[in-house]
Amino acid sequence: MNHHEDEGLDAREAMPTRREVFQTAGILGGALAGAGLFAALGGCETKSAPESAPAPGAAGGDRPRAPKADEEYVWLSANANLPLFTAHDHPALHLVGRELGVKVTVGGPNSIDIPSLVSAIEQTAARKPAGMMVVGWDPSALVVPINRAIESGIPVVCVDADVPASKRLAFIGTDWYDLGVRQAEAMVKALGERKGKVALLGLIEQEIDQKAFAGFRSVAEKAGLTCLEPQQDKGNQVEATRVAAAIIQAHPDLAGMAGFDSESGPGMSQAVKEAGKSGKIIVTSVEAEEQHLRFIKEGVLTAGIGQKRGLFTYMGVKALYEINHSPLKFTPDDRAAGIVPVPVVYSTGTYTVTRDNVHLFLKA
Amino acid sequence: MTPRAPDSAGRRPRWTSLPREVVLGALIVLIVLLLWLAGLVYPQLSTFFTLGNLSAILRNLAFEGILATGMMLLLVAGVFDLSVGSMASLSGVVAGWLMKKAGWPVPLAVAGALGTAAFGGFLNGVIVAKVRVNALITTLGTMGVFSGIALLIGGPGITFLPESFSRLGQEEFLGIQAPVWLMAALAGTAGFLLWRTRFFRQYYYIGSNPKAAHLSGINVEGMQILAFTIAGTIAGLAGIVYASRIQTASSTVGVGAELQAITAVILGGASLTGGRGTIFGAMVGVFFMALMKNLLIILRTSSEWQGIILGAVLVLAVGADSIMNRRQER
């Protein structure tokens, strides 16, 4: 509300005028240009363009191994600039783009906004890229746009999180059930003979987290541990710390905590440390980022289960590239027969970081 | 108590607002009742009433509490800022970057980060007050700009910040961590300024009737720019203190914090149309929200129900206040 406006603001007045929108667009355009300049001056990575064409493979069949000019592969996700993505998924995407000599692009909204992700998929499909990788943030809402893209002849694979009900050609990512199993194994090992309650934190509405909870329970409950109902931490460290602190107070006999999104681990560790219960409450979590490694080194976080995130986009582009260029043929017309020359599921695996091997992961 | 500007009929300003005080009083009573209920339902949870639990609740509300102080000032002035969460992330990352990558001494790095935050707030203020762009659009845009820059600078986070820096957020006095004391000091100072000083009381007049305030000689534009600058600086302080507490500058700590702060201050007595609210009310709102969240977990409420209950409480509290205000106006 500005001083030039009359008192008694109504809903219509609260709406921005066209002039205001244009003014803001101009101002923010300048600010964004400044930010872009800052990034360029700072040597930050930008979207890669093909640097050199690869040597054409000695391909048989009728599909050329070399990429076409301006062959583009697009990675689409909600929360597209999540630090985890910018640290692993995006650099690997640009790496494989340079390696294959194709254009790679990042797209999607900067928040967990499924309608905007649907819109991004549809708009990207309209420009007919050579292939699309979609992070399956919602296993049902994304079915239609993925199927439409496939039906319009664009190869689509899911990376990181799957949309199994869609016609996607392949899935490349972590087996989250297995990730839950790994966490539980680390938890049971650290607890030894101790039994008791274990709290679970994560993005509870996400299918991948639900799979991980199931994997965790399958091992933990057999070992005599009681898993509490999973709590929502909104994928936010501040929230994860607050929720974990409340759980610690609510359950003085808590034996362990397991976290299933990238912010759960640091949040839980902070809460455990501040409650003076480091080592008394066993903490495990997904991911092994710098913050996780710091807590592992301090002995607060017992185990971080890292995902090989770089493989998601690296193998994603390679899979799409093979779909377009593979010399392998199973029928005279594989596309019509619904056969793709790549595996349907790529399980990229995990690795476990503990205090014993954390030095291998810490930057010098 | 909320001083008010003269209304359009030129009536004498009201120095008390009974419905507002009633709502705040009801909130406090409700908090005490909830505490008592929790003790009744789960008597085994003796730890709930301990200093340790209170300390944990306070420790985790300090970030939002600091943000709410600045947000209340803005709402009193009739504007709000959706970029405070992003600014908190950005300032923490700037402080971390200056310490770890640029090698600046801690005080200089903190000053640099606070300067960045003040500039960001100033920029918001200029766009809203001078260029006259709606505050919602302006701060929605700068929210994206600030969070984008934070990601560019900080990436997934800057860890292992210097010990001398982390002491700022980890020191304890009487069992309570430094960020809580900082929040209390900030709220006390802001509350005093807003309640007792002629200069800051002008915000009530601006928020109630900006046109009348302008005609009465108040520099509305300047005051709005100042309010945004103060709110930006406070958001920066929140980010720095949080980075100090966790010894890491994370580029996403402030995600969603702006809505938490707005929710708390509205619950605590502010109005989206401006001219009302107190810092005391903001603190009650923050404390109430934190306590509710804590109790819902203590009471083993599922996450889905927590969202429903918190949302319903907010709508009920604000709706009841609105009805009472309308009755009073009749």
| Per-position DSSP letters for A187-256, written without gaps between them | HHHHHTT---EEEEEE-TTSHHHHHHHHHHHHHHTTTT-EEPPPEE-TT-HHHHHHHHHHHHHH-TTEEE
**pLDDT greater than 70 at residue A15:** no
- Point out the residue among B56, B128, B212 whose CB comes nearest to the CB of A275: B56
Residue A279 lies in a domain: yes
**Can you give the residue range of the structural domain that contains A342?**
62-174+309-348
Same domain as A238, residue A208: yes
Looking at the structure, tell me whether residues A97 and A68 fall in a common domain: yes
pLDDT of residue B309: 85
For chain B, how many structural domains are there in total?
A: 1
Are A72 and A130 within 8 A, CB to CB? Answer: yes
Q: Which of B154, B156, B213 sits opposite A84 (nearest CB)?
A: B156
Does A182 lie in the same domain as A162? no
> What is the residue range of B142's domain?
18-329
Give a three-class secondary structure readout of A189-203: HHHCCCCCEEEEEEC
A75-89, A129-143, B63-77: least confidently modelled range: A75-89
B119: three-class secondary structure by DSSP:
helix
CATH number for the domain harbouring residue B156: 1.10.3470
- Contact A290/B298, CB-based, under 8 Å? no
Higher-pLDDT residue of A336, A345: A345
Q: Which CATH number belongs to the domain containing residue A78 in this structure?
A: 3.40.50.2300
Q: Is A245 a residue whose pLDDT tops 50?
A: yes
Q: Would you say residue A11 lies in a domain?
A: no
Show which of residues 29-68 on chain B sit within 8 Å of chain A, judged by CB atoms: 45, 47-48, 52-53, 56-57, 59-61, 63
Q: Number of CB pairs < 8 Å for A and B?
A: 186
pLDDT over 70 (residue A98): yes
pLDDT at A35 over 60: no
- My answer on whether A337 and A286 are in the same domain is no
Q: Are residues A35 and B148, on separate chains, in Cβ contact within 8 Å?
A: yes
Question: Which parts of chain B register pLDDT below 50?
Answer: 1-16, 19
Segment A91-109 mean pLDDT: 95
B3: left (phi over 0), alpha (psi -120 to 50) or beta: beta
**Chain A residue numbers touching B273 (CB-CB < 8 A):** 1, 9
The pLDDT assigned to A40 comes to: 38
Q: Which helix (H) or strand (E) holds A284?
A: strand A282-286
Evaluate whether residue B9 is within a structural domain: no
Question: Is residue B6 a part of any domain in this protein?
Answer: no
- Decide if pLDDT at A43 tops 60: no
pLDDT of residue B325: 67
The answer to the question of residue A271 being in a domain is yes
- B184-207 burial, b if ≥16 CB within 10 A, otherwise e? eebbeebbebbbeeeebbbbbbbb
Note whether A92 and A314 are within 8 A (CB): yes
What ipTM does this complex have?
A: 0.75
Residue A69 pLDDT greater than 50, yes or no:
yes
Would you call B306 and A232 a contact, using CB atoms and an 8 Å cutoff? Answer: yes
Q: Report the percentage of chain A scoring pLDDT > 70.
A: 82
CA distance B188 to chain A (A): 24
A47 found inside a domain = no
**pLDDT at residue A8 is higher than 70:** no
Chain A positions in Cβ-Cβ contact with residue B245 (cut-off 8 Å): 270
> Which is nearest to B143 in space by CA: B215, B82, B224, B89?
B82
**Do residues A288 and A241 both lie within one domain?**
yes
From the CA atom positions of chain A, what is the Rg in Å? Answer: 23
Element (H, E) at B8: none
Please check the confidence at residue A299 and state whether its pLDDT lies above 90: yes
Contact B298 A246 (CB under 8 A): yes
- Looking at the fold, whether A72 and A107 belong to one and the same domain comes out as yes
Mutation test of the interface with chain B: which of A82, A242, A280, choosing the one with the most B Cβ atoms within 10 A?
A242
Same domain, A105 and A182: no
CA distances from B285 to A23, B65, B147, B268, B270 (A): 35, 9, 26, 4, 10
From chain A, pick out residues whose CB is under 8 angstroms from the CB of B302: 229
In three-state secondary structure terms, A304 is strand
Write down the number of H helices and E strands in chain A.
Answer: 13, 13
A4 min Cα distance to partner chain B (Å): 6
What's the rounded Cα separation, in Å, for the pair A46 and A35? 12
Q: Are residues A186 and A85 part of one domain?
A: no
Q: Within this chain, do residues A249 and A326 fall inside the same structural domain, yes or no?
A: no
Token pair of B281, please?
């009310």
Q: Do residues A165 and A181 both lie within one domain?
A: no
Residues A69, A185 share a domain: no
For the cut 70, the answer to whether the pLDDT of residue A355 exceeds it is yes
Residue at A212 is within a domain = yes
Instruction: Say what the pLDDT of residue B29 is.
Output: 76
> In A, which residues are within 8 Å of B254 by CB distance?
238
Of the candidates B82, B181, B65, the residue with the CA atom closest to the CA atom of residue B128 = B82
Residue B138 covered by a domain: yes
Q: Is residue B8 domain-resident?
A: no
The answer to whether B89 and A11 have CB atoms below 8 angstroms apart is no
Residue A253 and residue A287 in one domain: yes
In the predicted structure, residue A38 carries a pLDDT above the cut 60:
no
Candidate from A190-204, A239-253, B261-275 with smallest mean pLDDT:
B261-275
Give the count of domains, chain A.
Answer: 2
